């Protein structure tokens, strides 16, 4: 069983339970090859904290070790106290052309030796295989997955996803394999891509596979053992990596680093902080395969820990953007990500804890900023005005900076104020929402980003229907505005902010629903910002200082429920769970029957019974796809339970 | 004494000798504060490999420790076996407004306690100080430096550079202090810049100081203790850093990383490979100031080792470009560097060992690429032709790829072929020189880089005087070329390559001098490229496979000597050294009397006597500024000694 503890987009920190203990993910599985043992598995557990290792069942199944391992079991033969995953020989088939074992035999063998996670024998698709050939192999992989599922008994099964570079095949294979009783889904056939630095293709393969995979299954990326890649692979939702590299590179005198591989003999110093490098000279290390392997393993384990840290902190994107500068092929992979924003966005949180850092033109295309611009176009309704007053980007929050200019312009001309920011156009009423309110930009911006911001701006402004837009460049602008849009008005900023934020957060038209009536609000003494919003005496919304978004209160939830038909905003739960939510208990994924496909992690949501009665107001922790897939974990944190109406109308 | 062992631009790996041993630089000097001792200095030496620490003489000089340290000496009081540098109290004056000690007193005290490197009491200029105030303080700092020099006796003195943000003052102060008998130059007054992330200003301050400083002196950047900054500071020629951060941050529960600072209590895992993080849980670490400080120190020491590794490997620029993505303010600093390319270029090698990686629009502005484009404009003489055949960028080397297209175009039209590459325009004859021959680009290039390449191209093409340029886009282009530039010729590529390379490497017109006469060449069987060039039967040049540049032979050197007046190409040495060079011994900096200001590290050079007799052909290891400043180390590696003429004409 797999449970998610923390998440950041598709990436997650999780716990995988096996008969030999719990494994924290993302996890690195060192490959143990008993024929070339360099670090004993027990040392991996005791000195490196390894919770799981992987070894090859195909190799164990051959003489002279076969009888031994059948008698003693794989754990005893390896002398490893934690979990053991076994591989099947599919990679050997890729290397040697074929293997002398069938899928059924290798499954039986893995059961017999007590593997915690046994792998089916999939058919390795080469990147060069055309669609026909890859399809045939993917279909055979699906057939064998079904066979393995039928044979697995109690053994937790690793199902494989093949399909070469063909996105449709990857997705289909992933979907079919997901339907079976697999414990882990493994993306196979990627080693040739890794060896050739084809990281753009790697991104495409992982994303296509993830589109088809059950999100509740941990995903193993077979053969990805270089720490360079862990952040990117984890960002795309991979949870398990296996590394033979630590040993193979060591035999070849090479050292792994998060920024590449280096030949030990060419270094006078490694520049590494690991226990090996901190306490040995380079000449000792370079001459000792055991030290080299231990350095490599320290670096790999630290690299997965770093990924887990980044997921928990919500800054994995930053880590990926930094790591992309290690090699131009990784930069290409980073630039490829934007092409999958439709999928990545589904998993993005509403906001993150950290400020948004701009570190290159690629930052602009993060899925969360893609969403910002998309929602601006689709959800934000610009107030009626003749023209647009365009303010140049300045320090955030914009309204503090531009207050006086805007007040004067508004009272003398019929225009709406907007900042042309790098992230996208920012109507002044929205400048307190994350990440607009919390972002750090360099002073000098590269051309690509400026150009992209210009394009977003023009695109949005063209759709917004103003007669003209005028860049504020001093007093002359005011003159021009008066001439072109005579009139003017006085804007109640707090009202404008509430309305714009509501529409932007919940969808166009929701401000009318949530704020219809006599609106009153409380201003926070600390921040000077709106804190609580009351309509007709009821507490409808609270505005969060952290990210500038609303928390929905029961009265607000009732308004949305009444105005919008299912499934909008809803998480529909099992009737058995209803009383618990009414008492304020969280929504567990296994009790979710359906949900609004528009819900994103962090969104406010209405927990409803099958009769569409409101049971609770909650903050989603998953999107619909995840809520329906997971059998473990919290789908939504209930903020406020809602009691049953005293006399529920009969249905 | 300071000796450079490896260099990469302004950055260097060196050895600083002190009465208590040799210190490898760049070095981190942990600050030892006996009033708040967290890691004993002896442990720093034994477990962390610290060769030098720094402690504050101003604090030691106060009660209750004063008598103790005067009696036992600073090494015994600290219990540290290596070198000890002492600071003077200038920073305390910055923090508290003033200190109760004079420059003369603090120098005397440091002498008395046996400091290996004693620091003068400079006047701390705040970034906000205007020119007048900063000037007054810089002049006072210069006066005190002179006083300290007069008082220092045998103690190695640390002279300080002040001047606030005023480049002229920094440069003047650096120049004046450099004239004195200082062992180390310290750039002071930067802590407020570091605290406010004003890294652009930091770059300006360091570069202005370096312009004035004697390049043979190691440079200490006072107060730069965060590993985030080591690569950038080292890139600009800083050699010593002091860190109180390891202890101060630890007291505050914070952990240092090369990508920033994090609060230990907020982490479940640090993602660090250091001995502390590899063997303790985060809850143990977070609750133990000693472990935190040790983690911080491990990270800091590894970070300086990483910088030394990068300098030795010639890839410090790559490290700086990666590190710049940690914070937008660091990206701004990276983008600032191009504004100092005139100075940085002087220290750049002719080529580097590694391929050039493109990792962002900033890569294009590295000083070595700035030089490539500058030399192309100034040195390369395009052969006469009516028009330009512009080839789109493709895989390198271009001539292999474009051979057939170019041959056809040339025989049918009077045009010259050139590739519009991202690094700059590349005449096809030059595509074997570094980095053109060895570069890795992403497939997708950002707009800023494309735009910059376009600008470089147009700028160059406008100056080259062709009637037109036509982009090759298929067969139609050939038709058009025939029409616009009827004629055509057959190009001897090897000759064209030799001529273009010679001009590009040595300067416009040198091809005429080096290749005048009957030219013959030998092609390497391995590479198919030109290996040795003979003119009139003499071996004049060899072409290096590694970087595509020429090695000058004695016959070639004689041709240059005869054709170009001093100081062009020359390193003029002391008469005493002449016989040694004639026998093939290297040129040591201390025997250099003068040199061509155009010489760059890696350039071919003529070693001449004061009578301008050729003594040897050499490869420079330094530029002129460095040759004249250094009293230690090799200024040029002699490739070939040249015997005295049998009967030297009397002069």
Looking at residue B651, what is its pLDDT? 53
What confidence tier does A320 reach under pLDDT thresholds 50, 70, 90?
very high
Chain segment B191-207, per-residue pLDDT in tens: 999 999 999 999 999 99
Interface contact A328-B357, CB threshold 8 A: yes
What are phi and psi for residue B435, nearest 5 degrees? -95, 5
Task: Report how far residue B175's alpha carbon sits from residue B179's, in angstroms, rounded to the nearest whole number.
Answer: 7
DSSP string, A167-190: HHHHHHHHHHHHTS--SEEEE-S-
Measured CA to CA in angstroms, residue A192 lies from A94, A256, B511 at distances of 10, 19, 47
Q: Among A364-373, A386-395, B108-117, B353-362, where is mean pLDDT lowest?
A: A386-395
3-class DSSP state of B255: strand
Interface contact B325-A325, CB threshold 8 A: yes
Burial class of residue A354 (count of CB atoms within 10 Å of its CB; 0-12, 13-18, 19+): middle
Chain segment B36-85, per-residue pLDDT in tens: 999 999 999 999 999 999 999 988 988 788 999 999 999 999 999 999 99
Q: Among A275-284, A505-514, A615-624, B461-470, where is mean pLDDT lowest?
A: B461-470
What are phi and psi for residue A588, nearest 5 degrees? -90, 145
Interface contact A451-B446, CB threshold 8 A: no
Among candidates B301, B327, B448 on the partner chain, residue whose Cβ is nearest the Cβ of A446 = B448
Looking at residue B402, what is its pLDDT? 77
Q: Which residues of A touch B321 (CB under 8 A)?
A: 325
CB < 8 Å from B in window 394-453 of A: 440-444, 446-448, 451
Task: Report how far residue A331's alpha carbon sits from residue A355's, in angstroms, rounded to the nearest whole number.
Answer: 23
β-pair partners for B390:
B418, B471
Looking at residue A651, what is its pLDDT? 54
Distance from CA of B259 to the nearest CA of A (A): 9
pTM value > 0.90: yes
Task: Report how far residue A311's alpha carbon sits from residue A237's, in angstroms, rounded to the nearest whole number.
Answer: 11
Distance from CA of B118 to the nearest CA of A (A): 29
**Those residues with Cβ within 8 angstroms of residue B363's Cβ, 6 or more apart along the chain or in another chain:** B321, B356, B357, B369, B449
B122 catalytic? Reply is no
Count how many pairs of residues, chain A against chain B, have C-beta atoms within 8 Å.
174
Q: Which residue of B has its CA nearest to A321?
A: B325
Chain segment B250-272, per-residue pLDDT in tens: 999 999 999 999 999 999 999 99
Task: Report how far residue A196's alpha carbon sits from residue A133's, in angstroms, rounded to the nearest whole number.
Answer: 21
Distance from CA of A321 to the nearest CA of B (A): 7
Among candidates B279, B308, B361 on the partner chain, residue whose Cβ is nearest the Cβ of A446 = B361
Among candidates B262, B306, B446 on the partner chain, residue whose Cβ is nearest the Cβ of A271 = B306
CA distance between the termini of chain B = 39
DSSP string, A541-563: EEE-TTTSPEEEPHHHHHHHHHH
CB < 8 Å from B in window 43-72 of A: 48
Q: Which residue has the tokens 């365009």?
A: A390
What confidence tier does A403 reach under pLDDT thresholds 50, 70, 90?
confident
Encoded tokens for A514: 């949530």
Q: Which of A56, A61, A5 is nearest to A244 (CA)?
A: A56
Of B8, B68, B79, B87, catalytic? B87
Encoded tokens for B105: 């007193």
CB < 8 Å from B in window 336-355 of A: 336
Q: Which of A50, A271, A307 to mutate to test the interface with B (most CBs of B within 10 A)?
A: A271
**Those residues with Cβ within 8 angstroms of residue A179's Cβ, 6 or more apart along the chain or in another chain:** none
Mean pLDDT, chain A, as a whole number?
Answer: 94
DSSP string, B502-561: HHHHH-TTHHHHHT-S-EEEEE-TTTSSEEEEEETTEEEEEE-TTTSPEEEPHHHHHHHH
Contact present, A409 and A478 (Cβ < 8 Å): yes
Interface contact B259-A322, CB threshold 8 A: yes
Encoded tokens for A334: 């980073």
Q: Which residues of A touch B359 (CB under 8 A)?
A: 324-328, 331
DSSP B430: G
Among candidates A275, A308, A328 on the partner chain, residue whose Cβ is nearest the Cβ of B275 = A275
Q: Which residues of A touch B446 (CB under 8 A)?
A: 361, 446-448
Can you give the length of chain A in residues? Answer: 651
What confidence tier does A649 reach under pLDDT thresholds 50, 70, 90?
low
CB < 8 Å from A in window 599-628 of B: none
Q: Which residues of A touch B324 (CB under 8 A)?
A: 359
Task: Report how far residue A118's alpha carbon sits from residue A86's, in angstroms, rounded to the nearest whole number.
Answer: 5
Distance from CA of A273 to the nearest CA of B (A): 5
How much is the average pLDDT of B151-171?
97
Q: How many angstroms from the chain centroid is the CA of residue A643?
A: 35
Task: Report how far residue A419's alpha carbon sits from residue A320's, in angstroms, rounded to the nearest whole number.
Answer: 29
What confidence tier does B555 reach under pLDDT thresholds 50, 70, 90?
very high
What are phi and psi for residue B402, nearest 5 degrees? -100, 0
Encoded tokens for B358: 């493109």
A293 or B383: whose pLDDT is higher? A293
Looking at residue B647, what is its pLDDT? 63
Q: Which residues of B touch A451 (CB under 8 A)?
A: 447
Of A8, A87, A431, A596, catalytic? A87
Interface contact B271-A443, CB threshold 8 A: no
Q: Which residues of B touch A309 (CB under 8 A)?
A: 267-271
Chain segment A526-548, per-residue pLDDT in tens: 888 999 999 999 999 999 999 99
Q: Which residues of B touch A269 (CB under 8 A)?
A: 305-306, 308-309, 312
Task: Report how far residue A651's alpha carbon sits from residue B32's, in angstroms, rounded to the nearest whole number.
Answer: 78
Distance from CA of A149 to the nearest CA of B (A): 36
Q: Which residue of B has its CA nearest to A200?
A: B443
Encoded tokens for A356: 């948004």
Q: Which residues of B touch A303 (CB under 8 A)?
A: 271
Per-residue pLDDT at A410 exceeds 90: no
CB < 8 Å from B in window 304-333 of A: 305-310, 312-313, 318-319, 321-322, 324-329, 331-332
Contact present, B230 and B307 (Cβ < 8 Å): yes
Distance from CA of B231 to the nearest CA of A (A): 12
The interface pTM score, or ipTM, of the predicted complex is: 0.91
Looking at residue B403, what is its pLDDT? 78
Per-residue pLDDT at A650 exceeds 60: no
* B296 close to A (CB below 8 A): no
3-class DSSP state of A443: coil
CB < 8 Å from B in window 555-584 of A: none
Contact present, B535 and B515 (Cβ < 8 Å): yes
What confidence tier does A648 reach under pLDDT thresholds 50, 70, 90?
low
Per-residue pLDDT at B650 exceeds 60: no
Looking at residue A396, what is its pLDDT? 66
Per-residue pLDDT at B395 exceeds 70: no
How much is the average pLDDT of B105-113?
95
Q: What angle do CA B51, B56, B61 make, to 5 degrees?
A: 130
Q: Which of B26, B273, B335 to mutate to test the interface with A (most CBs of A within 10 A)?
A: B273
Chain segment A594-633, per-residue pLDDT in tens: 999 999 999 999 999 999 999 999 999 999 999 999 999 9
Q: Which of B11, B272, B278, B447 to mutate to test the interface with A (most CBs of A within 10 A)?
A: B278
Distance from CA of A256 to the nearest CA of B (A): 12
Q: Which of A249, A260, A203 is nearest to A227 (CA)?
A: A260
How much is the average pLDDT of A633-651?
83
DSSP B101: -
């Amino acid at each position: 069983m797999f449970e998610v503890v923390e998440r950041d987009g598709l990436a997650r920190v999780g716990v995988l339970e096996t008969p030999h203990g719990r494994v924290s993910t993302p996890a690195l599985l060192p490959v143990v090859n008993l024929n070339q043992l360099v670090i004993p598995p027990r040392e991996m557990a005791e000195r490196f904290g390894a919770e799981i290792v992987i070894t090859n069942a195909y190799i164990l199944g051959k003489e002279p070790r076969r009888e031994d391992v059948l008698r003693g079991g794989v754990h005893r033969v390896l002398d490893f106290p934690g979990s053991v995953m076994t591989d099947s020989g599919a990679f050997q088939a890729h290397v040697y052309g074929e293997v002398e074992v069938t899928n059924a035999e290798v499954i039986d063998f893995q059961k017999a030796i007590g593997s915690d996670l046994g792998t089916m024998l999939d058919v390795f698709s080469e990147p060069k295989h055309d669609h026909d050939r890859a399809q045939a192999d993917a279909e055979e992989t699906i057939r064998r997955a079904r066979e393995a599922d039928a044979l697995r008994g109690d053994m937790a099964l690793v199902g494989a996803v093949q399909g070469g570079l063909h996105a449709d095949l990857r997705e289909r294979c992933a979907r079919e394999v997901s339907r079976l009783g697999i414990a882990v889904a493994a993306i196979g056939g990627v080693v040739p891509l890794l060896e050739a630095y084809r990281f753009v293709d790697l991104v495409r393969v992982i994303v296509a596979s993830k589109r088809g995979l059950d999100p509740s299954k941990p995903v193993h990326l077979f053969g990805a053992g270089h720490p360079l890649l862990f952040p990117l692979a984890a960002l795309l939702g991979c949870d398990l990596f296996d590394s033979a590299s630590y040993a193979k590179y060591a035999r070849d005198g090479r050292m792994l680093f998060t920024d590449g591989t280096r030949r030990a003999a060419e270094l006078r110093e490694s520049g590494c902080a690991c226990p090996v490098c901190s306490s040995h000279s380079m000449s000792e290390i370079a001459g000792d395969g055991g030290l080299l392997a231990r350095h490599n393993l320290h670096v790999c384990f630290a690299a997965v820990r770093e990924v887990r840290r980044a997921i928990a902190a919500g800054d994995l994107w930053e880590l990926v953007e930094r790591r992309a500068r290690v090699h131009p092929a990784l930069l290409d992979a980073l630039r490829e990500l934007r092409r999958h924003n439709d999928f990545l966005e589904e998993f993005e949180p509403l906001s993150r804890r950290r400020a948004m850092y701009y570190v290159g033109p690629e930052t602009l295309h993060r899925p969360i900023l893609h969403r910002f611009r998309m929602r601006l176009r689709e959800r934000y309704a610009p107030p009626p005005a003749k023209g647009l007053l365009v303010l140049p980007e300045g320090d955030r929050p914009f309204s503090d900076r531009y207050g006086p200019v805007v007040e004067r312009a508004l009272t003398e001309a019929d225009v709406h104020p907007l900042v042309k920011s790098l992230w996208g156009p920012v109507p002044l009423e929205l400048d307190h929402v994350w990440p607009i309110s919390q972002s750090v930009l360099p002073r000098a911006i590269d051309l690509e980003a400026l150009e992209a911001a210009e394009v977003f701006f023009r695109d949005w402004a063209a759709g917004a229907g103003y007669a003209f837009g005028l860049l504020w460049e001093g007093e002359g602008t005011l003159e021009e505005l008066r001439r072109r849009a005579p009139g003017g008005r006085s804007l109640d900023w707090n009202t404008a902010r509430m309305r714009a934020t509501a529409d932007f957060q919940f969808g166009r038209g929701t401000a009318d629903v949530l704020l219809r009536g006599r609106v009153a609000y409380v201003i926070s003494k600390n921040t000077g910002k709106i804190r609580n919003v009351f309509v007709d005496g009821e507490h409808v919304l609270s505005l969060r200082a952290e990210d500038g978004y609303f928390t929905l209160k029961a009265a607000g939830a009732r308004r949305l429920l009444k105005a919008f038909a299912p499934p909008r905003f809803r998480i529909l739960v099992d009737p058995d769970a209803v009383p618990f939510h009414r008492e304020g208990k969280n929504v567990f994924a296994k009790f979710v029957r359906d949900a609004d496909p528009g819900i994103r992690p962090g969104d406010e949501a209405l927990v409803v019974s099958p009769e569409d009665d409101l049971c609770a107001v909650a903050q989603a922790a998953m999107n619909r796809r995840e809520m329906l897939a997971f059998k473990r974990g919290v789908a939504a944190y209930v903020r406020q339970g809602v009691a049953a109406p005293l006399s529920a109308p009969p249905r």
